[in-house]
Structure 1
Amino acid sequence: MGLTTDEVHQRVAAGLKNEPLPPLTRSVKQIFRDNLLTLFNLINVVLAGLVLLTGSYKNILFLFVVIMNTAIGIFQEIRAKRQVDKLSLLSAAKIHICRDGQVDDYAQDAVVQDDLIMVTRGDQLPVDGVVRTTEGLEVDESQITGEADPVIKGPGDAMISGSVIIGGHGVVQATEVGHGSFIKQMAKAAKQKHRTPSQLLTIINRIIKILTITIIPLGAGLFISTLLRGESQNRAILGTVAAMVGMIPEGLVLLTSVALAAGAFTLGRHQVLVRELPAIEALARVDTLCLDKTGTITSGQLKFDRLEPWGQVPAQVAETRLAELVTAIDDDNETAQAIKEAFGTPTVQAEAVLPFSSARKWSGAQFNGQSYVMGAPEFIYETVPVDLQTHIQTLAKQGYRVLLFAHVKALTTPKPSEPQAVGLILITDELRPRAKETFGFFANQDVALKVISGDNPVTVASIAKRAGIAGADQLIDMSQVGTTPDFDQLVADYNVFGRVTPQQKESLIKAYQAAGHTVAMTGDGVNDLLALKQADCSIAMATGSEATKSLADFVLIDSNFDAMVQVLNEGRRVINNIERVAALYLIKTMYSAALTLIFIFMSHSYPFEPIQLTPISTLMVGIPTFFLALAPDYTRITGRFMKQVMEIAVPSAICVVGYILTIMLLGSKFQLNFATTSTLSVLMTGIISLNALLIAARPLNRFKIGLVVLIASLFLLVFLFGGYVFSLVSLWNWSLAWIYLPLVISAYPVFVLLQNGLGKRVLSKIRWR
């Protein structure tokens, strides 16, 4: 019967109501707070305040760039949040609750104390409760206890929130909801695993940490040394602010976060729910993809083909007993549904039931004084008879999924006693329409495909071969490897693994990781939970179990595995583009830090004012990186982030520092004032940055060439028409042209010499993580 509507209202009013799961995304308030309240934003605001003291108001223009970067970051993250939240609603688990005598679907936060919850295989219990009725209820409490062995539950037994139903079905009465439930403390651990943070963000945050330690003392040192040289306070402030602004890579962390958020938004449009942004990066680095057969290679729509009698039982009698067995067990998995569709559901009174379990791999029931089972032959017999095994192998090679239907003396575990074959159940499973194209794409992208399934290895290999998966002939039956197999050797020798238990799936993933591979795992059932948790990246189908969807990194909303092509491409695009543009941010940071250190001990003022860095920050870094970060680039991830960045950044920074020191020497020789030397410094820094942009944009295409030409034209316009705004002197001076033209002409060959020669020799001796 369950609670009445009035009783539900009373419990809601008393606060005895469950709570929703923690959201996958940050709130809008948190997004604003985390983007605005950063250390670098604080430093920029303080620096802007110091510039205001000088009265040179145009020199706070750098703050406008910071504000625009932050605004773009907030906009992109909120846009991605809305997309993820929308998809989260589509994939949210529904709870089956009996109220007023009717069973309906409810959201998790609709559960109240004393509700009667209908649970079945694949469900995850959202509250603490007690079992009221059960049909072979088996529970995985490993997320709470750490033990993966299934626990059989009977009437009156306690159930802990976060438990996963792996066999049978039953009714559980909610006893503790909301704050009182165990899952309140364990929600994140039970519902969502915590992976290693983004490698990109880890490296970038390491750079930020180093800068945080150095930027303030360097700025203080430059300010004091400028005053000690007799320069005015205003000159000391403007020089120090320019140096510190130059050292801050204000858009680098932002661009990485925005790129990942934009990736999540793009994938959302392809019906892919991204549960963790770093997972986009993790999948981009994957080189081994482990596939579960059902729902990934095949459509998951099983069809009963026929029952082949075995032994002395007539075919019609065997079919009747099979129909009665399936009705008595009352499982709701795909195999049971296919048989029910073929034979219907005759009336039968079950005396004992043992529903299907992923670990046991068979199910059974006792009725009319007789016990019958169906499932994997290897898990029913101690040793499958030779003639029966031979026939099963023949059928499996034809692509059938073969299950044994047998009469047994008793429903003992882990194997029934004295099985006698009654017949062989033949199930067909069709390939997904575009399976060959999808797997061919992954193979071309150097992603090794492995098939790990609970089905007969011969059947699995046959289907894998039809799908065009390489190495399908290298198969093994995991039910025959013993209790302590050498998993490292197994993953080295085989590509198709059949009759795999959930624990073996997890061990196979561990073995691939131990061999240095980055592993992704696909799955849709509770038998995949352990492997999905262990994998570097996990993918679940929306049609799979709620427990599986709740911990996967990606949920394919329309259960279309072909969407993984877009996921892999999007991940590679994000990572490759961030690697490409990070160098442009770090060039400014590196030469600013080097110049600050040098000019602490020089008699000259720091060569820039804050306003003069704005064209460089905007035109040479901000605008082009925005476009380059969105460019298509689906090449394999190399794992050379720091080395690739430094191959561009180090030679560029050395060039900038070298040319600025040269300009300082020429300024002393030709008695050039600060306005002139700072203008020449901006010019040469822009020219070097433009060369670095050309390198970072490779391989060039018409769009990228057009972008570089546009940036160069805008930079030229700054000198032609923006001299007053950016404190630049006119370059239309022939006496000055004799100085800067040779410098401009020499910039490209000097840059190339450093980039291809000295830079690579130095970098080859350094090990970058």
Structure 2
Amino acid sequence: MTERTTSLEQGLTAAEVQARIDAGQQNEPLPPLTRSTKQIFRDNLLTLFNLINVILGGLVFFTGSYKNLLFLGVIVMNTAIGIFQELRSKRQVDKLAILSAAKSQLLRDGQVTAHDQADIVQDEVIQVTRGDQLPVDGLVRETTGLEVDESQITGEADPVIKGVGDAIVSGSVILGGHGLIQATAVGHGSFIKQLARSAKSNRRTTSQLLTIINRIIKILTITIIPLGAALFISTLLRGESQTRAILGTVAAMVGMIPEGLVLLTSVALAAGAFTLGRHQVLVRELPAIEALARVDVLCLDKTGTITSGQLKFDHVEPWATASADKVTATLAQVVTAINDDNETAQALRTALGPTKVTATKVLPFSSARKWSGASFDGQSVVIGAPEFIYQTVPADLKQRIQQLAQQGFRVLVMARVSQLTTPKPTDPTTLGLILITDELRPHVKNTFGYFANQDVALKVISGDNPVTVASIADRAGIAGAQQLIDMSTVGTSPDYDQLVADYTVFGRVTPQQKAGLINAYQTAGHTVAMTGDGVNDLLAMRQSDCSIAMATGSEATKSLADFVLLESNFDAMIQVLNEGRRVINNIERVAALYLIKTMYSVALTLIFVFMSHSYPFEPIQLTPISSLMVGIPTFFLALQPDYTRITGRFMKQVMEIAVPAAICVVGYILVIDMLGTEFQLDFTVTSTLNVLMTGIISLNALLIAARPLNRFKIGLVAAMASLFVVCFLFAGKIFSLVNLLDWHLAMIYLPLMLSAYPVFIGLQNGLGKRVLSKIRWK
């Protein structure tokens, strides 16, 4: 801890700041949200699959069959596209991150100015207030009653009261009050390394889709090398040439690698982040795009989401025999004494103006306590929610508040108390009711209507009066808004499971109760998103599967959130949901096309290890199939709009499309192999027929994966089919294909071609449905 005492009137001078910078006593910037350019190039280039492809390319080069190196061109192209898309996304995300970066209020040369967190030096005096997150370790030098959340350090969610002289640790969130903190440890000396996402007690589960894909890659990594070695050795043992053994093995191993699937997933997520960035939405974690796409329950905090957060003081209604003028004057005094900076305090201060008052004790507003108060002129006065001020709210007061809440007013009570005790003050006597109005966000009704049409259930979880919240929710068009409950009445151990089943609007909710409600929805099998803008939303946002913060919210909330709406425009949520659904739905749809090649390549390798014939393809012959039936069309299909609800169809799509298609390919290749033996066809002919039939079956799979069809998709499939035909007619020599304009060959391949569609559909309807019926899809 520092020995130096910095002046609370002047702070550090410019010369003192520079001296500390020169001595290396400066804070460090937050870790970036994106990977560095060097990391992007390294992680896209230095992959296991790329290494395998380079080794395979070296083997092909050794044979002198240079045209069979064309598969490396596809790999290079895919890698280049991946790097380009991620760099483009990085620039967008980094730009938005700078715009949304938290600023610290530093006292220097007698002036309080905003600076980046990296500018803080040793002994700096930092002005903090409710919602701030401390970027360095410090010592409380001046305070009106700081309440701090240290849960990310201690694991305890209860607020901690900090007084002058108390230590405070970086990452702590200011829940109430304001004060001056002197930095005692910066940079490596503090917890700055854990500050990024410091409010998260646990990392979210990884993306379901990426988990499945990584599992597939892990299995293939173990499988590819031994299978390739076995095929190479068996080919040589049959007396085939070394060149034939190498080309067959390379073709088999290239076919087994779904390199485009990994690329497509990363590119789609990066492109999604870029698109959302253009709509002023900062994506902090790419897997969060998938998490939000799967959301079926959206929990909303009223202030800042349903309403604009702009509160307006309407009037004070005196209670009992108190006069209006005296109550209004007392309200102005207590607001000045407390000197809070939350939305309610700002609305009151704007309407009432400053007044002279000297407070002997102050308790700023706390999200957990839900009231604030001050002692002055020989009296103590509190302002807050009546349920949290009174042990039992008087019946007549409760009735009047209910009437006003039904009119859409947000009602606070001002009461004189004997002592400012917590959690509730002592002996409250009502002086008056403070009426405040909220305004709905523009277009919020249309936005909520869209979510309802997309099968996303809307729930409102707020700290305000449930009747008021329900009235606002009803005005906003939220279904079931009249199903409301006052959470201050449910006791210390409520049945959250029953509550979430019965109610839509939850009022007077404490931060801990918010998290409990989110957990109950998750226990019921829902994927839950939470929106918020205040520190009272932190626990719930941490608990949720996906969290969204408004740019006008607290810095602690923004540092926690997966998405930050930089223009605080809730309408942007439509774009966020749609972009997530588009990305995931399209990846799930086209993934089966990549896995067809993997499946039949693995199966053929296993079969041809024991066959007397060579592997049925050369590397160059797989290029038309990989490019025209998978690579090019999936790129376009991944950009198509598809905003239907996510249903976890990845493995289902594989079972419905990839497995029947792979079985068809293997079956037709074995038939062609037998026909080759019967009619004494050489390898160039049989391999050409294999390419033809594999392409046709892949084309049928593409047609099914592209459903529902529209003009663009039909045109895309037709274009790929036409280019496939062109490969045979005009590029046969390049791809080692023989001329099929031979009636002798036509007698063989025409019946095979005509049978391909009915056989594939038959297998899909028979085998696919039989297998699917035995599996419980989540």
TM bucket by the smaller chain? over 0.9
* 1:118 partner SS: strand
2: CA distance, partners of 1:328 / 1:416? 17
2: CA distance, partners of 1:491 / 1:336? 32
Contact 2:141 2:182 in 1 (8 A): yes
2: CA distance, partners of 1:462 / 1:758? 54
2: CA distance, partners of 1:193 / 1:735? 67
**Residue equivalent to 2:226:** 217
2:273 pairs with one of 247, 252, 264: 264
Letter in 2 for 1:217: P
Q: Structure 1 residue 137 and structure 2 residue 146: aligned? A: yes
Q: Structure 1 residue 20 and structure 2 residue 29: aligned? A: yes
Q: Structure 1 residue 451 and structure 2 residue 445: aligned? A: no
Question: Displacement of 1:173 after TM fit?
Answer: 0.2
Contact 1:80 1:265 in 2 (8 A): yes
> 1:325-373: per-residue Cα shift (whole Å, max 9, x none)?
0000000111111111111001111111000000000000011111111
* 2:128 partner SS: strand
Question: Displacement of 1:449 after TM fit?
Answer: 0.7
* 1:510 partner SS: helix
Letter in 1 for 2:163: G
Q: Structure 1 residue 289 and structure 2 residue 301: aligned? A: no
**Residue equivalent to 2:180:** 171
Letter in 1 for 2:153: I
Q: Structure 1 residue 103 and structure 2 residue 106: aligned? A: no
**Residue equivalent to 1:515:** 524
TM alignment of 1:155-554, pairs within 5 A: 155-185=164-194, 187-190=196-199, 194-554=203-563
2: CA distance, partners of 1:526 / 1:667? 73
Question: Displacement of 1:492 after TM fit?
Answer: 1.0
**Percent identity of the aligned residues?**
80
* 1:172 partner SS: strand
**Residue equivalent to 1:595:** 604
* TM-score normalised by L of structure 2: 0.98
1: CA distance, partners of 2:481 / 2:197? 38
2: CA distance, partners of 1:500 / 1:763? 44
2: CA distance, partners of 1:411 / 1:422? 16
Contact 1:309 1:315 in 2 (8 A): yes
Letter in 2 for 1:576: N
> 1:79-114: per-residue Cα shift (whole Å, max 9, x none)?
011111111111110000000000000000000000
Unaligned runs of 5+ in 2: 1-9
Question: Displacement of 1:758 after TM fit?
Answer: 2.4
Greater shift in the superposed pair: 190-199 or 565-574: 190-199
**Residue equivalent to 2:7:** none
Q: Structure 1 residue 686 and structure 2 residue 695: aligned? A: yes
2: CA distance, partners of 1:553 / 1:236? 51
**Residue equivalent to 1:626:** 635
Contact 1:193 1:551 in 2 (8 A): no
Q: 1:499 to 1:509 in 2, by over 3 A?
A: same
**Residue equivalent to 1:743:** 752
Letter in 1 for 2:353: G
> 1:618-637: per-residue Cα shift (whole Å, max 9, x none)?
11111001000011100111
Contact 1:192 1:551 in 2 (8 A): no
Letter in 2 for 1:268: G
1: CA distance, partners of 2:495 / 2:127? 41
1:720 pairs with one of 716, 729, 744: 729
> 1:142-189: per-residue Cα shift (whole Å, max 9, x none)?
111011111111111001000000000000000000000023356454
**Residue equivalent to 2:578:** 569
2: CA distance, partners of 1:578 / 1:551? 28
Letter in 1 for 2:517: L
Contact 1:222 1:600 in 2 (8 A): yes
Question: Displacement of 1:275 after TM fit?
Answer: 0.4
Contact 1:144 1:190 in 2 (8 A): no
Q: Structure 1 residue 754 and structure 2 residue 763: aligned? A: yes
Contact 2:656 2:769 in 1 (8 A): yes
* 2:259 partner SS: coil
2: CA distance, partners of 1:598 / 1:293? 63
2: CA distance, partners of 1:168 / 1:36? 51
Letter in 1 for 2:25: L
2: CA distance, partners of 1:236 / 1:680? 20
Letter in 2 for 1:571: G
* TM-score normalised by L of structure 1: 0.99
Question: Displacement of 1:565 after TM fit?
Answer: 0.5
Contact 1:647 1:760 in 2 (8 A): yes
Question: Displacement of 1:408 after TM fit?
Answer: 0.9
Q: 1:701 to 1:734 in 2, by over 3 A?
A: same
> 1:607-651: per-residue Cα shift (whole Å, max 9, x none)?
100000011111111100100001110011111210122210001
2: CA distance, partners of 1:173 / 1:187? 21
1: CA distance, partners of 2:23 / 2:201? 30
Q: Structure 1 residue 114 and structure 2 residue 120: aligned? A: no
2: CA distance, partners of 1:764 / 1:627? 32
Question: Displacement of 1:312 after TM fit?
Answer: 1.8
**Residue equivalent to 2:5:** none
2: CA distance, partners of 1:636 / 1:414? 44
> 1:412-446: per-residue Cα shift (whole Å, max 9, x none)?
11111111111000000011121111111111111
Question: Displacement of 1:768 after TM fit?
Answer: 5.9
* 1:251 partner SS: helix
Unaligned runs of 5+ in 1: none
Q: 1:637 to 1:185 in 2, by over 3 A?
A: closer
Q: Structure 1 residue 152 and structure 2 residue 152: aligned? A: no
Which ranges of 4 or more aligned residues in structure 1 deviate by more than 6 Å?
A: none
1: CA distance, partners of 2:484 / 2:776? 40
Greater shift in the superposed pair: 631-640 or 173-182: 631-640
Contact 2:135 2:195 in 1 (8 A): no
* 2:140 partner SS: strand
Letter in 2 for 1:623: I
2: CA distance, partners of 1:59 / 1:47? 10
* 2:177 partner SS: strand
* 2:690 partner SS: helix
Contact 1:139 1:167 in 2 (8 A): yes
Question: Displacement of 1:764 after TM fit?
Answer: 2.5
Q: 1:185 to 1:270 in 2, by over 3 A?
A: closer
Q: 1:722 to 1:291 in 2, by over 3 A?
A: same
2:44 pairs with one of 27, 35, 44: 35
Letter in 1 for 2:571: D
2: CA distance, partners of 1:7 / 1:609? 72
Q: 1:188 to 1:545 in 2, by over 3 A?
A: closer
Letter in 1 for 2:265: T
Letter in 2 for 1:469: I
* 1:521 partner SS: strand
1: CA distance, partners of 2:119 / 2:321? 54
Letter in 1 for 2:728: F
